Structure 1
Amino acid sequence: MDRHAPKPLVIVKVGSTYPDIAAELGDFEHWIAAGLPEDAPPVTVVDPRAGDALPAADAVAGVIVTGSHSMVTDREPWSEQVAAWLRGAVAAELPVLGICYGHQLLAHALGGEVTNHPRGIELGTIEVERTEAAQNDPLFAALPQRFAAQSAHRQSVRRLPEGAVLLAGNRFEPHHAYRVGPRAWGVQFHPEFSAAATAAYVRAVATAAEPAPQVGPSEASATVLRRFAEVVATAAQPASG
């Protein structure tokens, strides 16, 4: 092993999109990787559902946990294993970004509560509003006060972990984003989803009985991935002195 090689940015793949969507547009890990800047650390994908081992926290530069069609409340063994690993990663101040299922799993891992959302699914391109605390957050400070984001979730973080800083929400989902400690974030919305991906989810999930969800661009929320990569790069720099 080359000790001088850059540590990888690990995508923990905890779910897959629908096969027809994947065939046309790719899968969650591809969308995440595409949203990272060109100078981001090399990306490695691990799938704990398939038995892949989770790396030691000191062997990676950062971690992004994908979305999933599974439910955190099912407490599947692989999911609980990732939750335990995330507790150690946060304690080690490894940069962590949990997306949708990853957002919920991170909250569960750190003592928060995840349940089915009482109003069902939040689907389509939605509006999210920053909190006052987000004005000084590395991922959210440069975002507009209100911004469009892509959404597809039925479960929700109903109670944040102790000490978590609420960063964004809306009337449907008050806990759309939070930070725990200096370098761990959860986002319920999907910064990696394009409008095409969201439109495909609307076709797959929405019913004729529901009002058709709106779908549009979400350039501002997509910058969360690039800013997370910047946090990862900064954290990876050796201390001076």
Structure 2
Amino acid sequence: MPRIAIIETGLVAPQHRERHGSYPQMFERMIRASHPAIAFDVISIPSGQACPDPDKTEAILITGSAAGVYDERDWIAQLEEFVRAAYASKTPMVGICFGHQLIAQALGGLVRKSEKGWGIGRHVYRIVPGNGVIEGEHIALACSHQDQVIEAPAHARTILSSDFTPHAGLLYANGVTLSVQPHPEFDVDYAYACCELRERRAPESVVRAAKASLAEPLDSARLGGAIARFLATGSA
């Protein structure tokens, strides 16, 4: 099984870190639930670590972040170069939320802050049949974002969508690159905490509805298992 390099691009808020762990720790729990033998390396961008050599990396997972992919930060440009090199070398790669947007932007898509506002709480996404990654017609997942992929890259196929997030999941033509906007690594408690973090930033009615939505079950394990299989096997 491959060793997965988790590229940490953002930090969990200090008041939630002790209970929920870091984003890499959330992903490790998610992946080990179905593939307990997989090993991980964490590359922490906020700690000043540089991207690894994509030619010497077996599999890649890029986390979420409070940053916008369009922010003028040196590390974002460097990470885009890393993504393009990994894509060209056909290294299995998955991006979540910020990672989803970063891969899309690096490979020719358009990302910006959506006029639809905040997407938080439990959202339900349509699944494109026969995509080779995730089965079923719909999937319910936690999300927390304002930015969206507005235009997918030409060589990416949209496999998850909703009216709120038309390009919620992308599968790329090289067969080993996958990205999703929602968060399969979030449990219900952390998804609720994310809603609380949006208080006074998102409209009160949006936050209230998002909190209430989390009374319904999430399908996090289903997508988490699909991502684990994708990274472990290196293809859809």
Relative to the length of structure 2, the TM-score reads: 0.89
- Going from structure 1 to structure 2, the CA distance change for 1:230 and 1:118 (only over 3 Å counts) comes to same
- Deviation, structure 1 residue 7: 4.9
- Going from structure 1 to structure 2, the CA distance change for 1:61 and 1:100 (only over 3 Å counts) comes to same
| Distance of 1:107 and 1:27 partners within structure 2 | 24
Give a deviation string over 1:65-87, Cα, whole Å, max 9, x none: 00001111113111111111001
Q: Which amino acid aligns with 1:130?
A: I
Q: In the comparison of the two structures, how many residue pairs are matched?
A: 225
| Distance of 1:218 and 1:160 partners within structure 2 | 26
- Deviation, structure 1 residue 19: 1.0
- Deviation, structure 1 residue 185: 0.9
1:203 to 179, 190, 196: 196
Q: Which amino acid aligns with 1:114?
A: V
**1:107-186 mapped onto 2 (5 Å cutoff):** 107-132=104-129, 135-137=130-132, 139-140=133-134, 142=135, 144-181=136-173, 182-186=175-179
Mean alpha-carbon deviation: is it higher for 100-109 or for 48-57? 48-57
| Distance of 2:123 and 2:226 partners within structure 1 | 21
In structure 1, the gaps of 5 or more residues are 1-5, 237-241
2:91 to 94, 107, 123: 94
Tell me the equivalent position of 1:72.
69
Mean alpha-carbon deviation: is it higher for 39-48 or for 75-84? 39-48
| Distance of 2:227 and 2:143 partners within structure 1 | 19
Tell me the equivalent position of 2:187.
194
1:23 to 4, 18, 22: 18
- Going from structure 1 to structure 2, the CA distance change for 1:235 and 1:186 (only over 3 Å counts) comes to closer
Give a deviation string over 1:54-102, Cα, whole Å, max 9, x none: 2222322211000001111113111111111001101111111100000
1:51 equivalenced with 2:48 (yes/no):
yes
Q: Which amino acid aligns with 1:136?
A: N
| Distance of 1:40 and 1:65 partners within structure 2 | 20
Tell me the equivalent position of 1:85.
82
In structure 2, the gaps of 5 or more residues are none
- Deviation, structure 1 residue 40: 4.4
SS in 1 for 2:204: coil
| Distance of 2:168 and 2:131 partners within structure 1 | 17
- Deviation, structure 1 residue 202: 1.0
| Distance of 1:40 and 1:210 partners within structure 2 | 43
1:33 to 8, 19, 28: 28
CA contact (8 A) 1:48 1:82 kept: no
Tell me the equivalent position of 1:3.
none
Let me know the Cα RMSD of the aligned residues. Answer: 1.8
| Distance of 2:204 and 2:131 partners within structure 1 | 42
Q: Which amino acid aligns with 1:95?
A: P
CA contact (8 A) 1:61 1:232 kept: no
SS in 1 for 2:38: coil
Relative to the length of structure 1, the TM-score reads: 0.87
- Going from structure 1 to structure 2, the CA distance change for 1:7 and 1:53 (only over 3 Å counts) comes to farther
| Distance of 1:128 and 1:116 partners within structure 2 | 20
